[in-house]
Amino acid sequence: MSEVLATLACAGITGAPIPKGPDLAENSTKSTSKSRKFLRGPLLYLILAPLIVLLGWSLLSGGNTREVPTEQGLELLADGKAKQAEIVDGDQRVNLTLTKADKKAGSDEVYFYYVSQRGEDVVNAVNEAKLADGFTDKVPQPNPFWSLLGFLLPLLLIGLLIWWMLSSMQGGGRGVMQFGKSKAKLVSKETPQVTFADVAGADEAVEELHEIKDFLQDATRFQAVGARIPKGVLLYGPPGTGKTLLARAVAGEAGVPFYSISGSDFVEMFVGVGASRVRDLFKEAKANAPAIIFVDEIDAVGQRRGQGMGGGHDEREQTLNQLLVEMDGFDPKTNVIMIAATNRPDMLDPALLRPGRFDRQVGVDAPDMAGRLKILQVHAKGKPLAKSVDLEIVARKTPGFSGADLANVLNEAALLTARSNAQLIDNRALDEAIDRGIAGPQRRTRVMKDQEKLITAYHEGGHALVAAAMNNADPVTKITILPRGRALGYTMVIPLEDKYSITRNELQDQLAYALGGRVAEELVFHDPTTGAGNDIEKATSTARKMVTEYGMSATVGPIKLGQAQPGAFMGEFGQNRDYSEGVAVAVDTEVRALLEQAHNEAYEVLENNRDILDNLARELLEKETLDHLQIAEIFTHVQKLAPRPVWLSHDDRPVSNRPPIEVPTVVRTDASLEEAAEDAVTADETTAEAVDSVESSKPGPDTDETR
């Protein structure tokens, strides 16, 4: 008995808990979904079709009639066992009705076939049998029903096939006659709820959407002062900044029906389907008003009309026209609010952006220092962080990161911790996660030759040394010659605080240290490599923007050259070049002059600090990765570049000697930023020894150069 129980226990029979509560509901839901998939799938039809054909054939052919050999049939006639006969011409068949059931045939109704040569014998046998009920001859006539069925059956089968294909294309079990029905999903209470407390780093957007929630819950406070709620709110910004998350938060906070749909769900292969779905969506929302409609990626259907070769896509424009009508119809009392999200607001039609449709347009940008800290705190919930981890330092190391990027950093750090079988997420895992987010995973299998490694060390050292010698450049925080992603090595230059504008001198410093790697190769090896290709590309782009967009050229002047045309086809054929060839020559000359000046400045810095460059390359070859403390020690005696002369936009505009006013004490914020920077440096110094022990496994990200 014990052996039997042991066997059953191994098989998972005894000791298996009976599902209760949510588990039972989940199992029943899974079984229900499986049964629905089976009923909607083609397997059911493949099983039923042969059964239906066999059933119909048996009904048509008769259930009790049995076929006998020709010889036996003639014997039945000769022995007088038949009482009625029917001779069917054409089929050459004889149907016999017997006086009693035959033992061999097992039935009282039999039939047999004969060949045409035996036809006379069969007729004579029937005549000689003197049947009690007589006999008859039957000449088959074509049945119009069967003829029509033979013609219609193939058409019916083809129609069923087309119907099944169209139903499958619709997805989600939607019927073939429901093309025009809306595909919007209604957010229910069972949906995982996201609230405004889960959104960080977008305080302005939360404030705007919070007002909409308050209006839907209590409109009297707004109506008392004659205010009306915006009919539409457009959320725009770079990818990953939290636009869809904000909409989910509104759905969790609103307490009203929330319909969610993607912009691409409106457009189908059939003309008029998109407009019909818009009508159906707004009809359903109006029936359940007050309600919120959220359209994600609205640029898929809301692009500017009349664009493209041939005037654009008629189906998309029909859908947009219907959307415009529904958002600004004749009914002013419609309490339906529309929220839309897009990454490309410049592509949208002006009629869609005007007041009365999207009254409020909220930009959701990448978070600042405080916003990044809040986002990290939100995503750090439930993750075991080491006591030495300071999320403020992580936020300071990730300027320009979006909310999705920061969430990915913490997730990557957790994955790396689990990979190493550790229990706590430490600073090393976070640094590696940041490096992965910027430059990709480390390529440990790529083995470089000593000469190529030496060139890479001088290249990265040239970047770092020139950046350190500039007067307006950001500090160098990490240098590595370990391959990562497509880079053989990289230098990380990160600002200590968020910047929203850049001066001309800062841009010139960026040009100089971008070319520092190329200049180091020329200075040391007298033979540059292809590794500086990405550096030259970035420097050229920055210099051209300085001339054509920022007005930082005295020759060209403060003029915006070139007009961008959003959504243009055929690449350069869609660009509007609004300047002459002479101006183009002047632009090229100014760009070349800026790059030559940066090249000369980088050469001067490396020439004056050649000993430091050699020492830096030696340290990189030995340690492969240097942090900001080691870099600061090496650059202690760096000879700075002399300040540039004051730039004049024109010779007739002399330099003013009058300084700017001082920032009032009550509005100063730099003091707190400096204190935070000092705290960050102190915290980094406490972890310097741990960083030194894992240098070779901790390459750093680079925002300036990919080699």
Amino acid at the residue 270: F
Per DSSP (E only), the strands in 397-548 are 476-480, 490-493
Q: In this structure, what token pair is assigned to residue 75?
A: 């014997």
C-alpha span between 575 and 581 (Å, rounded): 15
Give the pairing of strands 93-98 and 66-67: unpaired
* Nearest of 707, 139, 188, 130 to residue 452 by alpha carbon: 707
Name the burial class of residue 526, with classes exposed (0-12), middle (13-18) and buried (19+) by CB atoms within 10 angstroms of its CB: exposed
Provide DSSP, 205-262: HHHHHHHHHHHHH--HHHHTTT----SEEEEE-STTSSHHHHHHHHHHHH-S-EEEEE
Name the burial class of residue 542, with classes exposed (0-12), middle (13-18) and buried (19+) by CB atoms within 10 angstroms of its CB: buried
Catalytic residue status for 460? yes
Contact predicate 102/108, CB 8 Å: yes
Question: Which residues have C-beta within 8 Å of that of residue 193, sequence separation ≥ 6?
Answer: 252
The residue with tokens 């294309």 is: 169
* Nearest of 360, 333, 355, 707 to residue 534 by alpha carbon: 707
Question: Which residues have C-beta within 8 Å of that of residue 697, sequence separation ≥ 6?
Answer: 428, 432, 442
Contact predicate 620/460, CB 8 Å: yes
Q: How far apart are the first and last CA of the chain?
A: 72
Other Cβ atoms within 10 Å of 534 Cβ, number: 17
Provide DSSP, 99-125: SS--TTT-SSEEEEE--GGGHHHHHHH
Q: Which of 253, 460, 601, 624 is catalytic?
A: 460
Name the burial class of residue 523, with classes exposed (0-12), middle (13-18) and buried (19+) by CB atoms within 10 angstroms of its CB: middle
Give the pairing of strands 360-363 and 336-342: unpaired
Amino acid at the residue 286: K
* Nearest of 586, 360, 624, 356 to residue 484 by alpha carbon: 624
Cα–Cα distance list, 418 to 269, 357, 428, 629, 701 (Å): 47, 49, 13, 29, 22
Long-range contacts of 137-142 (CB under 8 A, 24+ apart): 137/86, 137/87, 137/89, 138/86, 138/87, 138/88, 138/89, 139/89, 139/90, 140/88, 140/89, 140/90, 140/91
C-alpha span between 289 and 338 (Å, rounded): 12
C-alpha span between 113 and 632 (Å, rounded): 108
C-alpha span between 275 and 401 (Å, rounded): 38
Q: Is the dihedral of CA 603, 605, 610, 613 positive or negative?
A: negative
Contact predicate 126/94, CB 8 Å: yes
C-alpha span between 86 and 96 (Å, rounded): 7
Question: Which residues have C-beta within 8 Å of that of residue 110, sequence separation ≥ 6?
Answer: 65, 66, 67, 68, 73, 76, 95, 96, 98, 102
Q: Is the dihedral of CA 513, 519, 525, 530 positive or negative?
A: positive
Question: Which residues have C-beta within 8 Å of that of residue 602, sequence separation ≥ 6?
Answer: 462, 466, 512, 513, 515, 516, 519
Other Cβ atoms within 10 Å of 211 Cβ, number: 16
Q: Which residues are catalytic?
A: 460
